[in-house]
Amino acid sequence: MKRIETAFEHLLFSSRWLMAPVYFGLVLAMVVLLIKFTKEVFHIFSEIMTATGGELITGVLSLVDIALIMNLLIIIMFSGYENFVSKMEDLHSHRDRPDWMGHIGFSDLKIKLIGSIVAISGIELLKGFMNVAKLEDRELAWMVGIHVTFLASGVLYALMDRLHGGGKGH
């Protein structure tokens, strides 16, 4: 019976590698976002002489939005892989290795995720305000409501994390 238990535990432990293709899929998502980013840069430059200031700001906010999402994907891929799949031992001495790599736990990852969602929602809301003439009041109200919901969720999650003890020393 002990052999069956040990074999089952090894199977469970090995199943963490089923997440590796998921992280690779996130790499592919970054490629898609890079293409979208490049398309947006070309769009901004192609209309630089005819676009209004608001349109240019909205274009730049779209670039910032994509950059935030890509940064978030990197954090999720690195910390998720190291926390749930395998340590990146060969990269510990790499000179370009980010300082935070290997130090972000699951709780930190969730806080960064909700923080990024709030930031992305804020950028979308700002883009909405830049195009307020094109939006109905109802659409704008939904955008504000969703942003406030994300913001309140983020604050409550951070408070819960702090109360649980995950925010020691922050």
Please report, for the chain, the start and end positions of each structural domain, with discontinuous segments joined by +: 20-164
pTM of the full structure: 0.74
C-alpha–C-alpha distance, residues 15 and 29, integer Å: 23
C-alpha–C-alpha distance, residues 7 and 13, integer Å: 10
Give the mean pLDDT of 105-128. 83
Q: How many CA atoms lie within 13 A of 63 on its CB side?
A: 13
Give 7-41 pLDDT, tens digit per residue: 999 999 999 999 999 999 999 999 999 999 999 99
Q: How many CA atoms lie within 13 A of 29 on its CB side?
A: 16
Q: Angle of helix 20-46 relative to helix 53-80, nearest 10 degrees?
A: 170
Which stretches does DSSP call E strand in the chain? none
